[in-house]
């Protein structure tokens, strides 16, 4: 299964405020997200991201034409049954394969991104850099021990001054 991590971040790597708000992120990013998800045919999200986004009034993952997978260790969470619940990153990928997908988008949040990259399950990273600096907040990855060597494949300028970067992961280095 080919896994692409897609994230929107400030220029200093923040994906949300400490209170989980993403008000500094422009709506143009949502257009990119929907397009990438529907091209891949599916997406994977962490339980917290699912719960936060479902409270939003104007934007919803529910409308995406895609296989929708939530990762949580808790089998008893309440969720919309158009989503599939997986107990681990590995189980999420098995579910995606069983659903007929060969590629999938990983779309956060920070904890789930970190779980995937530590397990060497990410093949590509696409970052939309919002023209914004935010001193405090949730980072794209948690501060843990992992490292990967990347190759820049492409960069383009989108609406609202967003810079999009595409990286291929060449090698996941051993954690020390």
Q: Is 85 in the site for ligand NAP (CB under 6 A)?
A: no
Secondary structure of residue 155 in the 3-state scheme: strand
Q: Which is nearer to ligand NAP, 58 or 100 (by Cβ)? A: 58
| 55, 63, 65, 74: residue in contact with ligand NAP (rule CB under 6 A) | 74
**Adjacent-strand bridge partners of 103:** 2
Number of residues that bind ligand NAP (CB under 6 A): 28
Tell me how far apart the alpha carbons of residues 113 and 74 are, in angstroms, rounded to a whole number: 18
**H-type helices in 106-172, by residue range?**
110-118
One of 5, 108, 125, 129 touching ligand NAP (CB under 6 A): 108
Kindly give the pairing relationship between strand 163-173 and strand 124-129.
antiparallel
79 binds ligand NAP (CB under 6 A): no
- In 3-state terms, what secondary structure has residue 14? strand
140 touches 13 (CB < 8 A): yes
DSSP 27-38: THHHHHHHHHHH
Stretch that binds ligand NAP, among 35-43, 65-73, 145-153, 159-167 (CB under 6 A): 65-73
Query: For ligand NAP, which is the closer residue by CB, 74 or 145?
Result: 74
Which residues of this chain interact with ligand NAP, rule CB under 6 A?
Answer: 7-8, 15-16, 20, 22, 25, 46-49, 52, 71-74, 77, 87-89, 107-112, 115, 138
């Amino acid at each position: 299964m080919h896994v692409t991590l897609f994230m929107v971040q400030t220029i200093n790597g923040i994906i949300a405020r400490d209170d989980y708000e993403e008000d500094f992120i422009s709506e143009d990013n949502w257009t990119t997200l929907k397009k990438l998800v529907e091209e891949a045919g599916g997406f994977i999200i962490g339980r917290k991201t699912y719960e936060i986004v479902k409270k939003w009034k104007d934007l919803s993952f529910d409308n995406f034409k895609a296989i929708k997978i939530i990762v949580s260790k808790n089998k008893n969470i309440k969720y919309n049954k158009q989503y599939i619940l997986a107990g681990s990153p590995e189980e999420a990928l098995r579910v995606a394969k069983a659903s007929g997908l060969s590629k999938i988008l990983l779309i956060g949040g920070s904890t789930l991104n970190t779980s995937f990259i530590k397990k060497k399950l990410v093949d590509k990273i696409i970052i939309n850099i919002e023209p914004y600096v935010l001193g405090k907040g949730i980072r794209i990855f948690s501060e843990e021990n992992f490292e990967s060597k990347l190759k820049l494949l492409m960069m383009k300028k989108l609406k609202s001054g967003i810079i999009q970067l595409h990286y291929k992961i060449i090698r996941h280095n051993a954690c020390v």
